[in-house]
Amino acid sequence: MSQAAKRVATSSVQWQKLTERLTASHVAELTRLKGQNSTFSAQVNQLPNDLPKIDFAALKKQLPAHSAILDSLQKQYETLSIPYGQIPEQFNKEIEKWVEYNNARIKLHELKTADGAVAAKKVEEKWAKAPPVEHFDRQHFAEYFPQIFYDLRYQKRIPDPCNVGLNDTDQLEARFKDYKVLRRADKVDDH
């Protein structure tokens, strides 16, 4: 195995760990990524560790008019070194920002999941205590389906049999809260 292949092999992706963390909706993308990675690894494994050697002396004999240019190219080619595995600092900063952003998203998701589990547990407890549906009466409907059936004895709602949305806002209550019936002079309040 060439030195380049050894370097790639030591920095390979842990596919099993990645598969465990992803959801089923990402299986196709993960399969495509695995294929691209194996193609890249195969190409790297075929390459030699060092750059190929070029015989500049033979080139200078074949092209004597361009010997100055070939000398310049030889100096540049010999000083060329491509370090493997070094990521420029600007990219590292972008990667760190992306990791922080994803960690914040993961924490938010975990909080939402925990809140959802608590809410689901409350709903399950509520329905575990509920009587069978055959035994429901009007009071149970108001208790278990408050968005559809309402009890005006304790809920501040306006009857809305046509589901117009009268209770969605408090405009009606705000408009008529100081409503007073006009008193007539011939009306007597002593009864």
List average pLDDT for each run of 10 residues in the chain, which is 191 residues long: 56 78 86 90 81 87 90 89 74 92 96 96 92 87 79 70 80 67 58 49
Looking at the domain assignment, is residue 16 inside a domain? no
Question: Do 167 and 141 fall within a single domain?
Answer: yes
Looking at the domain assignment, is residue 75 inside a domain? no
pTM of the model: 0.40
Beta-carbon contacts of residue 63 (< 8 Å; ≥ 6 apart): 70
Last residue of a domain, one of 129, 155, 186: 129
Looking at the domain assignment, is residue 101 inside a domain? yes
pLDDT at position 190? 55
How many angstroms separate the CA atoms of 79 and 59, rounded? 19
Count of structural domains, the chain: 2
Residue 45 in contact with residue 1, Cβ under 8 Å? yes
How many angstroms separate the CA atoms of 175 and 173, rounded? 5
Last residue of a domain, one of 72, 100, 129: 129
Looking at the domain assignment, is residue 144 inside a domain? yes
pLDDT tens track for 153-169: 666 777 777 878 877 88
Looking at the domain assignment, is residue 68 inside a domain? no
Looking at the domain assignment, is residue 141 inside a domain? yes
Looking at the domain assignment, is residue 168 inside a domain? yes
pLDDT at position 3? 57
Last residue of a domain, one of 129, 150, 185: 129
How many angstroms separate the CA atoms of 48 and 103, rounded? 39
Residue 8 in contact with residue 37, Cβ under 8 Å? no
Looking at the domain assignment, is residue 143 inside a domain? yes
Question: Do 121 and 145 fall within a single domain?
Answer: no
pLDDT at position 177? 66
Structure tokens at 62: 């074949």
> For residue 168, what are the domain limits?
136-176
